[in-house]
A and B are shown apart, each in its own frame.
Chain A
Amino acid sequence: MGLFLEMLLINTATAFLLAIVVWLFATLPVLRNRPKLRHCLWILVLFKLVTPPLVELAILPDWNEKVGSRGNPIDTLEPNESQNHVRNGDAPTKSQSRTTDLGEVSDQHSQANPIASVTKPSETEQGVTANALSDHAAFHFNWSLIIVWIVGSLMFIGYVFSQVVRLQKAIRLAGVIDATLSDKARQIGDGFGINRATPVYLVNSALTPFLWVAWSGPKFVLSRSLIEQLNEEQLECILAHEMAHYVRRDHLTNTMSLLFVAVFWWNPVAWWARREMKMTQEACCDALAISRPNTSRKVYADTLFQVMDFLNSERTLSPALASRFVGTSSPQWRFEMIASNKVSHKLPWWSYPVLATMVAILPLVPTPVVGQLSETRSIQEAPQSIVQYRTSSRQLRVPVTLDDESRKLVRSFELFASTDAGANWSKVATCPSDGKFFDFEVMADGKYWLALEVALILEDPNPVATIKCTPEMLVIVDTSNTAQIRKTIRNSTKLGVPTDSSGNEAWQTNPLQSAAAEATTAAHNGIPTNSTPTNSTPSDSDVATSSLLDGTWQLRSMTIQGFEIQRENASSSWMETFEQPVSIQGDHIQHGQSSSVGEVVVNETTFPKQITVFVKDELLEFRGIYEVDGEQLSVCINGNGKDRTRPSEFVSGPGTANVLLKLQKVSQPRP
């Protein structure tokens, strides 16, 4: 759509410039006495309106990008631009390995959810939403313009058709044919090489003499009162002029130009070119008529003058009609041309190569487009090459596939993300050479273009040059749907009456309150297991399960809101919590025989180390920090599974949901 509008605008501008040149040069002798050449040039002006954009010149700035309302990011993807705007200063030049691929995106606790085709995401991130709204408005605006355009053209054509029918009917009724004038017209036609009957109709109206070209052939219509004022020689001049129209096939040229105006009814250049074309058409017919043997220029000019006087004296002109030809279109010029003995009805020999060159060059007038369009288009034409996924989680896991032999040459894999279709890149995750996937978290819903970079062992670990990112994957994060599901499930889930193991009701009072209550529930569910503190986000570095955590752990103490409960002093209500072991195997975590099995993800690259426990069945996510000291494990974890805040130190103070756990390893992991 954008390119089409650009083509229309540049064609209009070019046609306008060409029209000005032709109009100015028309006063020079080289065109003044050559009406046929002028006529051809005006036709070229009309044709310029529809020439396709064969040559594009990438000189226009991308205004959309500057105001932040660019269209579909894929449509405006500009790889070169992205190459020069890498934000991360530590991003070195990497050699990309085409044998290294990003796998299917999945959230960190669910299966991959690739989509074959992108469905419109419900973007909530502000920038993305603004882009979507802008796209939406532009789409409707463009289509509204096109509909108005088409309706206008159809109305124009309908009106022309109705006028043609009316005129055809009127002429059909004009049954009075003047035999003498018809014979004279036939003789004039013979002189032009037209061998067919040309009836002349006489009507009782003060009309200009005209030729009507019907399917059955040309028909002359003359005003009876006019011919009574003219002598035979003058009548021949009139018939010769009208016959010249038919010889030149002006009715075909006029039909073509009318179609141009019907299509470009909104374009003043089209109307201007058509009007000038018709004026030069009359001049051409004058030149052709006076080129007949034994035709007097003076008689011809005098005939025109008399007809003009007749039309003006017979009736009052309507103001609209009268004002149309005043000014630069004065007929004085036409009379001056007739008076000149240098006027020619033929094209000069040199005009053929000139016109042919113009025909060849006009479509090649470059169309200014937004910078780097050609490269942009190469991306546009292959949007399918960018794999697209949709996920409802902000915790993303992107597998990296590479054969083991090649991995020996790799120092690390790095994942870069862009939220603006490649204009700017940020490193979001690093994966060691033996890593199988990137785990990272995005901060908001929206579109994320991902690019993989590979650092080789053989390369300089601290290069200076900027990175060259090429988008390989588009991930659309949309958690709004998940939130709705969670809300629905929560609203329909009710707690039943608690019982002991034998089925008897066992009411007990929980000594903790408010925020601590939820943390306590989390602790009962066996969430706290691994641990150690942190104050940075997990998306900054590797995320993997630590083998140090594997094994079975016994809870030694638990501190909630500054209140510490030790295993030895725990009341009977807490005994079960303390007695049941916590087992960690890989990324699985389980507390006692609880049916709720969680998934644990740790980040060892931060200080303190981070741990996140997911309980998928309850749609909860517990974030914490941990520290391993020999057989001792300390974990401080946010007991509110809906709160994404992560503790930064191993403290459980009053008014917080943080739970401080201390565990003792009681057995090694299973082989």
Chain B
Amino acid sequence: MVRKPANVTETELAIMEVLWARESCEIREIVEAIYPEHTQARHTTVKSLLDRLGEKGFVESDASKFAHKFSAIVTRDVYVGQQLQRLADSHFDGAWTPMLLTLIDRVEMSKKQRDAIRKIVDGIQ
């Protein structure tokens, strides 16, 4: 069974946006980027969110220094691709999203059907 790519919440996504913008940073830097000022409560909250993102495989930490440094494992591009792929698995033919207009729907064809279509295409003058 193929494991679906994990989803992230809006709050987690805000942290990922900071990590995508910087190569690596400490918790304090993330807190100051998201909130107007740093407090202990906010520091704890961000720490919890980073732990959760680490469990999901989106973030890694560097514990070699006194202040741990965090960086994104999954790039923005990959994340977007995963999300779209995930949506595509369920409804990418546009059945559920009227604003989505696709080029072609995925179809499962036998070799015979594929050959028939290939023949049509080759026969076009």
Contact = CB atoms under 8 A, between A and B. Distances in A.
Contact of B103 (A166, A246, A304, A336): A304
A253 to B, nearest CB: 8
Interface residues of B, number: 44
A99 B78 CA distance: 89
B80 A282 contact: no
Contacts of B96: 159-160, 163-164, 258
B36 interface: no
B110 to A, nearest CB: 9
A210 B107 CA distance: 16
Nearest to A221: B84
Contacts of B100: 167, 210-212
A377 to B, nearest CB: 39
A339 B98 contact: no
B124 A325 contact: no
Given A278-B94, A305-B118, A325-B107, A203 B80 contact: yes
A335 B99 contact: no
Contacts of B84: 167, 170-171, 174, 203, 205, 207, 221
Contacts, number: 169
Given A163-B91, A167-B87, A305-B121, A331 B101 contact: no
Interface string A307-338: 11001100011100111111000111001101
A282 B104 contact: yes
A208 B76 contact: no
B37 interface: no
Contacts of A298: 121, 124-125
Nearest to A334: B104
A6 interface: no
B106 interface: yes
B95 to A, nearest CB: 8
B23 interface: no
A173 interface: yes
A251 B101 contact: yes
Nearest to A335: B120
Contacts of A338: 124
Interface string B72-92: 000011111111110111111
Given A207-B88, A207-B92, A176 B113 contact: no
B97 interface: yes
Given A322-B107, A330-B113, 18 more contacts: A160-B96, A164-B96, A176-B77, A208-B92, A208-B104, A213-B99, A251-B98, A254-B101, A308-B117, A316-B2, A322-B106, A324-B93, A325-B106, A325-B108, A326-B108, A331-B104, A339-B121, A339-B123
6 contacts: A204-B80, A242-B101, A282-B104, A301-B124, A312-B109, A338-B124
